[in-house]
Amino acid sequence: MNKIAVVGAGISGLSIANYLEKHQLDYHIYERRKKDDLTGHGFLLPKEGIDYLSQIIEPSVLFKHGNFLKKYIRYSHNGKILAQKDLNDVFVISRSALIHILAHNIPAEKISYEETVMPCPIQKGKLRKQDGTYIDSDVTIVSDGSKSRIRREIFQEETMKTVQENEIVNIIKCKDIAASLEDNFMKYHHEDGGLTFGILKLSEDTVLWYCQFDNKKYKISETSSVESLKSHMFEIFKDWDPMVSSIVKGSNYENVHLWRVYELEKLNPFYKDNTVFIGDAAHPLIPFTSQGVTSALKDSFVLTQYLASEKNSSDAFRKYEAERKPEIEIHIRNGRILLDQFLKPLDQQTENILPISYK
């Protein structure tokens, strides 16, 4: 029997596995995707996130795979600079690079890929694998993402609602654009509100761009095929500053992705019996906060500390929730404020607002 079963090998599952490894606690991770299926785009990591990562990853390895941003520049949609702010230790890295680095430290026998874990319909509180066998563990750490099936099964009264904002994200290869961005995080805003375009350099030849849009104003087809996302982008950004419209027109759309954003109307408890939730499975955060990854890392760190120091898991879970929930509630509140700002016309928005939620 494995003492601790971890469900999901995203950032939270892999980071807690790294911490458990460090504390020599026995665990096994179950992940439904294939080992090399590393989709996703990129994350902004404020200093706190880098500090937590540096405890489990060699900083020089981390820094080789991403980029530090020096300045945030806020533009109007026609290219006028509205505000600028120096950034201290804000790091950007692709999701695939970070997952790859975190997975590197996990011994192969402690992780099973292509293994979907489901709640057992008959025996409440038990989890089972695809072959029908139960997972027999003292503690289950659930890190299966924002739409966690296990969470929905345990907390059946929860309500998830769609957020009035969606994102289209893309990663492109282009040395010239990467060089022209220097280390700036550039974000363009439509004067009527509800539409932005952000650009960041991931490496010397890789750029991440994303568009945030009010999904009531800018309706998108249900199919969200590459072609429909491309024409959506062409249409809404055709008259923007040439920096934006040329990137939108000149991009390869092979990696494009539409994020539909959801949030929990009310947070659930972070644990029930022998099951504890971390990362998006415990608390989906809207992208405006830029805190999804840092919060996942912090959950992993705090929970592992208590699992290692407390005599029983229920004390560890209680202390973990008491420490983490108040901070998450702040990020949820900040996220709603940032969303509210985003939906307003530009002249009613607070100036110099950073697209990151700080406690």
Ligand X SMILES: Cc1cc2nc3c(=O)[nH]c(=O)nc-3n(C[C@H](O)[C@H](O)[C@H](O)COP(=O)(O)OP(=O)(O)OC[C@H]3O[C@@H](n4cnc5c(N)ncnc54)[C@H](O)[C@@H]3O)c2cc1C
Question: Does residue 190 belong to the site contacting ligand X (CB under 6 A)?
Answer: no
d(CA 18, CA 300): 9
Task: Report the C-alpha gap between 328 and 323 in whole angstroms.
Answer: 10
Task: Check binding of 40 to ligand X (CB under 6 A).
Answer: yes
Query: Residue 269, exposed/middle/buried by CB under 10 A (0-12, 13-18, 19+)?
Result: middle
Q: How far apart are CA 335 and CA 332, in angstroms?
A: 5
Q: Strand, helix or coil at 256?
A: coil
Q: Which of 149, 173, 217, 318 binds ligand X (CB under 6 A)?
A: 149
8 in contact with ligand X (CB under 6 A): yes
Q: Are 85 and 69 in contact (CB under 8 A)?
A: no
Q: Judged by CB, which is closer to ligand X: 2, or 76?
A: 2
Q: Which of 206, 190, 186, 207 is nearest to 198 (CA)?
A: 186
Q: Which stretch binds ligand X (CB under 6 A): 28-36, 181-189, 236-244, 246-254?
A: 28-36
Q: Which is nearer to ligand X, 53 or 244 (CB)?
A: 53
Residue with the shortest CB distance to ligand X: 10
Per the rule left: phi > 0, alpha: psi between -120 and 50, beta: everything else, 127 is beta
42 vs 335 by CB, closer to ligand X: 42
Site string for ligand X, 295-314 (x = CB under 6 A): -x------------------
- Please say which residue, 140 or 313, places its beta carbon nearer to ligand X: 140
Question: Binder to ligand X among 11, 139, 244, 303 (CB under 6 A)?
Answer: 11
* Angle at CA of residue 116, ends 148 and 257, nearest 5°: 60
What track of x and - describes contact with ligand X for positions 101 through 140 (by CB under 6 A)?
A: ---------------xxx----------------------
Distance of CA 96 to the CA centre of its chain: 12
What is the length of the chain? 359
- 77 or 117: CB nearest ligand X: 117
Q: Please tell me whether residue 145 binds ligand X under the rule CB under 6 A.
A: yes
Binding-residue total with ligand X (CB under 6 A): 32
Report, in angstroms and rounded to the nearest whole number, the Rg of the chain calculated over CA atoms.
21
Judged by CB under 6 A, does residue 49 bind ligand X? Answer: no
Q: How many CB atoms lie within 10 A of CB 326?
A: 10
CA angle 158, 160, 164 (to 5 degrees): 155
Q: Tell me, letter by letter, the H, E, C secondary structure of 98-140.
A: HHHHHHHCCCHHHEECCCCCEECCCCCCCEECCCCCECCEEEE
Residues 253-292 within binding reach of ligand X (CB under 6 A): 279-281, 287, 292
Among 210, 197, 180, smallest CA distance to 240 is for 197
Applying CB under 6 A, the span of 38-46, 155-163, 173-181, 316-324 interacting with ligand X comes to: 38-46
Q: Which stretch binds ligand X (CB under 6 A): 4-12, 18-26, 72-80, 304-312?
A: 4-12
198 part of the interface to ligand X, by CB under 6 A: no
Among 3, 21, 33, 63, binds ligand X (CB under 6 A): 33
Using CB under 6 A, which of 4, 5, 6, 12 touches ligand X? Answer: 12
- For binding to ligand X (CB under 6 A), which residues are involved? 7-13, 30-33, 39-43, 95, 116-118, 143-145, 149, 169, 279-281, 287, 292-293, 296
